[in-house]
Amino acid sequence: MASLSSIFPCNVVVEILAYLPARSLARFRCVSKSWRSLLSEKYFLTMWLNRSGTSLLVVPLEWDIRDKCSLVFENVSIGRENLRLPVGNDWVSLSVVGSSSDGALICLTGLSFVRRNASKLAVILWSPFTGEVKTLSHHDYIYCHERPLCAESQAQGYSSGCCVRYHVHGFGYAPNARDYKIVRITYSRGVARRAVASIRPSNVEVYSLGRDKWTSLGRPNFTRTIRGNSRAFINGAAHWLAAPREDAPYNSIVAFGMEEESFKQVMRLPRKRNISQYSLHSRGKATLAVSCGSLALIAFTIWDREVCGIWVMKEYGVASSWTKQHHIVLPIGLTCRAALGLTGNGKIVLRMVDESLVCCDLGDKQISEVGIGGEGTESSFDVIDLGRGNPSLRNQVGGGSPLTMLNPR
């Protein structure tokens, strides 16, 4: 820094660095202690977010090479970064749970077989900026009657009908505690025969990155079935679509507050008459997302996946405030497999049946290729908004940043 300061003023150097991609910043942190200190400062990270604009993060994990992934940004000046997740290639499956608002910390779950009909599940925290990984191994085995057919469903967090137990996860930030937390809900079947035994939530655990500790909260106070990891962290809570029982369509939303470490009041979905043409069954690939700071629901029509609607909850927690904002009809010949999420620039990211990933502009409905394939499962991808236009998200960077929590100075 001192040598550059003799050529350029310090503020000019900072401005230049704020335009660089994340991978370059990670390398520059190794130059010297002063550079490491600068690139970890809250004001610099906030400036970097401002310069980068809203970014799209997509993390595809290859079927045959589990540790290969890519970061793809909407800002063309940043472009695409190919990364190798430093966890080895021993995992049967890896799934994305969520990401921090600054993109500096990604939470995944990994599944590996250890013996016949038994698997081991782990939660993985990965910082792409520093390359560091923290693996939180589960203390128990997961048993399945159909090894390895439901391996993907195990890691994604839903039951394929043959699993004795499965888990769903949520990831988020508690600003008052300045801490990142992971919530894990364990679902187990009863002692009755597998064909008739219902699956129920049996335990809730919370992991605190600051305390580096799991805490059991016991059995939750609801019996609803949740499928899949949380896709929407908003208002300090992770949200899941929920059904009254295992084989029923979604009819509500369950939320877990990271600050309070407790479940909030169950929220209703849009009224049936307003969504009657859309599928809310788990096979219909309905999903939750975040749209410009509001909770959003994405659902496809009952008949096909060429038409989808997007509803936004205008007033958080108020079911009557659900409003249909977008109606998307894909061009003839294009069929969607699933919606992956929404970006802050007004686009929806879709995975098509030909395994390509595309962005559809919600305004002019123009479709553009993301540039990477979608081989794998929907849970192997994540789409985040890096907080453009939302100061509360940007304020998460700095003292509570994984750059300092995983890699203390």
Q: Which of 110-114, 147-151, 194-198, 278-282 has the highest mean pLDDT?
A: 278-282
State the pLDDT at residue 237.
Answer: 95
Rounded distance, CA 304 to CA 107, Å?
A: 32
Q: Per DSSP, what are the bridge partners of residue 299?
A: 309
Which amino acid does the sequence have at 253?
I
Instruction: State pLDDT tens for residues 117-163.
Output: 666 778 889 877 667 788 887 666 666 655 544 554 544 544 455 56
347, 72 in Cβ contact below 8 A? Answer: no
pLDDT of residue 31: 78
Q: Are the beta carbons of 286 and 241 closer than 8 angstroms?
A: yes
CB 152 within 8 A of CB 138: no
3-state secondary structure of 73: coil
pLDDT at 359: 87
Average pLDDT of the segment spanning 53-79: 60
Whether the pLDDT of residue 179 is over 80: the answer is: yes
Burial 38-55 (b: 16+ CB within 10 A, else e): bbbbbebbbbbbeebbbb
Q: Which of 131-135, 218-222, 300-304 is least confident?
A: 131-135
pTM value is: 0.80
Which domains can be identified in the chain, with CATH numbers?
Answer: 2-405 (2.120.10.80)
- More reliable by pLDDT, 337 or 216: 216
pLDDT score of 8: 59
- For the cut 70, the answer to whether the pLDDT of residue 1 exceeds it is no
Name the E strands within 50-189: 68-72, 80-84, 93-99, 106-115, 118-127, 132-143, 165-174, 179-189
pLDDT value for 318: 94
Enclosing H/E stretch for 403: helix 402-405
Question: Which stretches within 75-196 are classed as H helix?
Answer: 151-156
pLDDT-derived band at 245 (thresholds 50, 70, 90) equals confident
Q: At what angle do helices 42-52 and 10-17 cross, to 10 degrees?
A: 50
pLDDT recorded at residue 115: 65
Which pLDDT band, with edges at 50, 70 and 90, does 36 fall under?
confident
* Mean pLDDT for the stretch of residues 395-404: 38
User: 3-class DSSP state for residue 87?
Assistant: coil
pLDDT tens for 88-117 read 666 667 788 888 876 678 888 877 766 666
Task: Note the pLDDT tens digit of each residue in 368-386.
Answer: 888 777 666 666 777 765 4
Rounded to whole angstroms, how far apart are CA atoms 129 and 138?
26
Whether omega before 249 lies within 30 degrees of 0, making that bond cis, reads: no
pLDDT of residue 315: 94
Q: What are phi and psi of 166, to 5 degrees?
A: -150, 170
**57 near 382, Cβ under 8 Å?**
yes
pLDDT at residue 326 in the model: 93
- The per-residue pLDDT of the chain, averaged, comes to 76
Instruction: Tell me which of 79 and 203 has the higher pLDDT.
Output: 203
Written as one letter, the residue type at 208 is S
* pLDDT attached to residue 274: 84
Task: Give yes or no for residue 400 having a pLDDT over 50.
Answer: no
pLDDT category, 387, cuts 50, 70, 90?
very low
Per-residue b/e over 319-328, b at no fewer than 16 CB within 10 Å? eeebeeebeb
Residue 51 is predicted with a pLDDT of 59
Q: Report the C-alpha gap between 390 and 354 in whole angstroms.
A: 35
